[in-house]
Structures are given as C-alpha cells and as structure tokens.
Structure 1
Amino acid sequence: MELLLETVALYSLKLAYETEGHSPILRDDPLMGSCDREIFELLIRRGDVQGIQAKVEWCLGLALLALGGSNTVLGRELHRLATDFNAAQTLEQLNAPLIALKHYLKNIQ
C-alpha cells in the first residue's frame, strides 16, 4: 500500500508542478518531501488512517488546483474520487478508492 500511496502523491505533484520541457518529477525529488514511501509506511504501521488521508489530501488539493478546481470536468471527478478516499475509516477501506485515484491521475497526465 505504501507504493500505491506514494504513486498517487507523485501523480498529483506531477500535475501541479511538472512543466513541459523541464526535468520530470521523480520519486526522489525534494517535492515529494513528506509524501514518500517511508512516511506512508510509518503511518500504515501506526494504523493512522487520518494521517494518511491528510497527506494524500494535501497532494490532491494541489492537483485539483492545477486542474482548475472542482468546477471543471476533470476537477469534479478528482474531487469525487478524493471524497470517496476520505470517507474510508480503515486501512482496508482505503484500497479501492486509492486504486481509482491512481488510475484517474495516471490517465489525465
């Protein structure tokens, strides 16, 4: 699950910060900061669902801004998927919405 969380964070930050003609954002980029695999691994070990949701929500918020907000077609869908992710109350419940977020963010890159 750590890799999946890191991937969603990475795709979100790519949407927010990556520009054409510049170096791509990679997993070891300083922009990843507090959204890397080790941080997510620690939060998972603690069972801190709210902590995980807060980290991912921060990244998704940046992506949503890059898409023009929740009033755009792409933004509405991202907002809906983020709402599903934030509704999860256990680690197991995070899986399905997290996979949906990953696929959506990958597709709109």
Structure 2
Amino acid sequence: MELLLETVALYSLKLAYETEGHSPILRDDPLMGSCDREVFELLIRWGDVAGIQGEIGRCLDLASGAVGGVDTVLGGELHRLAKNFGAAQTIEGLYAPAIILKDYLRDVL
C-alpha cells in the first residue's frame, strides 16, 4: 500500500511540475517532501486515514491545477476520483480508489 500511495503522489507531482527537456522527478526528489514511502508506512501503521488523505489530497490539488482545474474534462474526472479517495473510512478502503487514481494519473501523463 505504501508504494501505491507513493506512486499516486509521484504521478501527481510529475504532472504538476515535470517539464519536457528537464530532469524527471524521481521518488527521492526533495519535491516529494512528506509523500514518500516511509511517511505513508508510518501513517498506515498509525491508522491515520485522514493524514494519508491529506498528503495525497495536496498532491492531487497540484495535479488538478496542472490540467486546468475542475472545470476541464481531465480536472473534473480527477476531482471525482479524488472525492472517492477522500470518502474512504479505513486504510483498506483507500486501496481501490488509490489504484484507480494511479491508473488515471499514469494515463494522463
């Protein structure tokens, strides 16, 4: 689960900040900040669903801005998927929406 969450964050930040012709954003990039695997591992261990949703939500907000916001087709769909992720009540409930987010962001990239 930690790797899945880190991948969602990484794809979001790539969408928001990576530009063609520049170095790619990698998992160990300082831009990842508190969205790395170890942080997610701790949040999962603590059962902090809101903390996980907050970290992923911050990254998804950046990605949404990069695709033009919720008034665009891509941004609207990303917003809908983010709401599904935000509605989860348990760690286990985050898994399916996180997979869908990861796949969507990968396709948008």
Any idea what SS the aligned residue of 2:28 has? coil
Q: CA deviation at 1:2?
A: 0.2
Alignment-derived partner of residue 103 in structure 1? 103
TM-score if structure 1 supplies the norm length? 0.99
1:40 aligned to 2:40? yes
1:78 aligned to 2:73? no
Q: What is the distance in 2 between the residues matched to 1:45 and 1:59?
A: 21
**Alignment map for 1:17-96 (pairs within 5 Å):** 17-96=17-96
Q: CA deviation at 1:29?
A: 0.4
State the Cα RMSD in Å: 0.3
Percentage of identical aligned residues: 74
Aligned length: 109
TM-score if structure 2 supplies the norm length? 0.99
Q: CA deviation at 1:81?
A: 0.2
Q: Which runs of 5+ in 1 are unaligned?
A: none
Q: CA deviation at 1:87?
A: 0.2
Q: Which runs of 5+ in 2 are unaligned?
A: none
Q: What is the distance in 2 between the residues matched to 1:93 and 1:39?
A: 19
Q: CA deviation at 1:93?
A: 0.6
